[in-house]
Amino acid sequence: MKPGRFTYHSPRSLDEALATLQVYGDDAKVLAGGQSLMPMLNFRLARFEHLVDVNRVGAEYAEPTFGDTRITIPLLVRQRRVERSAEAAAVLPVLTEALQQVAHPQIRNRGTICGSLAHADPAAELPSVLSVLDATFTIASSRGVREVPAEEFFLFHLTTSLEPDELLLQVSVPRPPANQFSAFSEFATRRGDFALAGVAAVCEVDAAGVVTACRIAAAGVAPTPHRLTDVEALVTGASLGDDLLPEAEAAARAQVDPTGDIHASAEYRSRLTGVLVKRALADIRGKLEATRA
Amino acid sequence: MRDHATEFPTRTQDETHTVGCTVNGREYEAVVDPRMTLADFLREKLRLTGTHLGCEHGVCGACTVIVDGAATRSCLMLAVQADGAQLETVEGLAEDGELSPLQCAFKRNHALQCGFCTPGFLMSVTAALREESVTTEEQAREVLSGNICRCTGYTGLVKSVLEASAGKDAQA
Ligand SMILES: Cc1cc2nc3c(=O)[nH]c(=O)nc-3n(C[C@H](O)[C@H](O)[C@H](O)COP(=O)(O)OP(=O)(O)OC[C@H]3O[C@@H](n4cnc5c(N)ncnc54)[C@H](O)[C@@H]3O)c2cc1C
Ligand code: FES
Ligand code: FES
């Protein structure tokens, strides 16, 4: 048997899950899809006295809801569920695009969206996507419920503002306006691998083709999703013309300070970030033109 | 994992759990340690050794089985989590001793050499073909991308997926 010994808890309701975490939180780990946690346990990179398996807290937490003003993704929504949802593709295409690049279907079948966010791997796609979608993270414990925006949720490598007795109950985003266009671009050495860098971008564009709002975040180049505020400022108020794209590329390169590792040097990663920003903006321009054709 | 609520919150690490599940249409029940993975459960408790283990961290795909209709890494799931589940493993593909069309395609196209990776490929592709047909080589490579083979060149695998999807006759 690969993992070390632990006590297994399988709460049958949210209240029971929160009560279990209240008792054992300091020595416990939440088990959602297990696609990040199980490899760590199998390799004994981590050991926990208690595992709190949240998979049976209730089927109502396994479906996204598409409300008039907000889209909500509770803790048991599998990545594949959203990836294959026509409604999600229509409303949040950037999420669909990014999900297709998260590992392989066999992993996404079990991996949850909230699990990926709670895991907060800097190279993961979803934290950046939810950052540009202006997400609100709803966090529950037996002490109550609180809400935090993305900037306050992601703190560092594999570190979020979740306390040991807390669950990420759901993540929700405002329903995007009709004039919002988005794109996700990444580069990975092999399909399904973590990206060397990734970029999520959303732009709101007025009737004259001028960008009125823009949010861009990069993955894999900093300990948390990295908002490229200089690029956002450059793009906002401009139209996505031929001269803007190289400027955005240069601004993106200048605004990241990645670390190098065996997969890619720091210099390569910052150049890549620039290229990916340019690709994402070109993609957005293409989508915009397609709606006007 | 029955009557858990009544036991809450006094569990210990020495506690065992009873898992009841259906594998390839047959019902099984076994007592497991909570840290036993689904892969070890299938191999060691149920003696269904067709499911192979390569990396045990989700990368190679050799351990892929179908859980409640979805292709899943059995090395990344605990046996206790499969309580009440419907499982399909490579042992269930052949019917009455007849290989499935996909298995026949693998055989015909030399899609296996040592065969270590084969059960995982077969289960991944079986699940993928139930979702949608595969008509291009690019789609086939995409379907195969979650599994690793160290000794074939993937060409036979790609051909097999395309043939099985097109429903080509098993004898050729
Ligand atoms: C081979 C392989 C390739 C992969 N490639 C990629 C990739 O390219 N991109 C990518 O982004 N990911 C990748 N992953 C990771 C995958 O996406 C995971 O599914 C995801 O990171 C974690 O989600 P999970 O539901 O499986 O969480 P788990 O593994 O169950 O949990 C992960 C962590 O989050 C905590 N947690 C989970 N849910 C909650 C919650 N609701 N509240 C509080 N804490 C919680 C757990 O305690 C644990 O610390 C890969 C995984 C594998 C095995
Ligand atoms: S053994 Fe499970 S994926 Fe390699
Ligand atoms: S046939 Fe040997 S690993 Fe694939």
Confidence band, pLDDT 50/70/90 cuts, at residue B10: low
Closest residue in B to A37 (Cα) is B76
Q: Does B64 touch chain A (CB under 8 A)?
A: yes
Starting from the CA of residue A38, give the closest ligand: 1
Spatial separation of the C-alpha atoms in residues A81 and B67, rounded to whole Å: 15
Please give the helix or strand (H or E) that residue A21 lies within, else none.
Answer: helix A14-24
User: Cβ B35–A107 below 8 Å, yes or no?
Assistant: no
ipTM of the assembly?
A: 0.95
| Contact yes or no for A72/B37 (Cβ under 8 A) | no
Confidence band, pLDDT 50/70/90 cuts, at residue A193: confident
B31 Cα to the center of ligand 2, angstroms:
23
Q: Judging by beta carbons within 10 Å of its beta carbon (0-12, 13-18, 19+), is residue A267 exposed, middle or buried?
A: exposed
Between A130 and A293, name the one with better pLDDT.
A130
pLDDT at A80: 98
Residues with CB under 6 A from ligand 3: B 112-117, 149-152
Spatial separation of the C-alpha atoms in residues A66 and A16, rounded to whole Å: 27
Chain B hits for A191, Cβ within 8 Å: 142, 145
pLDDT at B3: 41
Q: Judging by beta carbons within 10 Å of its beta carbon (0-12, 13-18, 19+), is residue B129 exposed, middle or buried?
A: middle
First to last CA, chain A: 60
Mean pLDDT, rounded, for A242-260: 96
Spatial separation of the C-alpha atoms in residues B42 and B122, rounded to whole Å: 17
Spatial separation of the C-alpha atoms in residues B91 and B137, rounded to whole Å: 27
Confidence band, pLDDT 50/70/90 cuts, at residue B6: very low
DSSP letters along B98-126, please?
BPPHHHHHHHHTT--SS-SSHHHHHHHHH
Q: How far B19 CA sits from the closest chain A CA (Å)?
A: 13
- Structure token digits, residue A282: 């070109």
Predicted confidence (pLDDT) per residue in B74-132, tens digit: 999 999 999 999 999 999 999 999 999 999 999 999 999 999 999 999 999 999 999 99
Q: A150-167 in b/e burial notation, b at 16+ Cβ within 10 A? A: beebbeeeeebebeebbb
User: Cβ A4–B58 below 8 Å, yes or no?
Assistant: no
In degrees and rounded to multiples of 5, residue B88 shows phi and psi of -130, 130
pLDDT at A44: 92
Confidence check: pLDDT of A13 > 70: yes
pTM of the predicted structure, to 2 decimals: 0.96
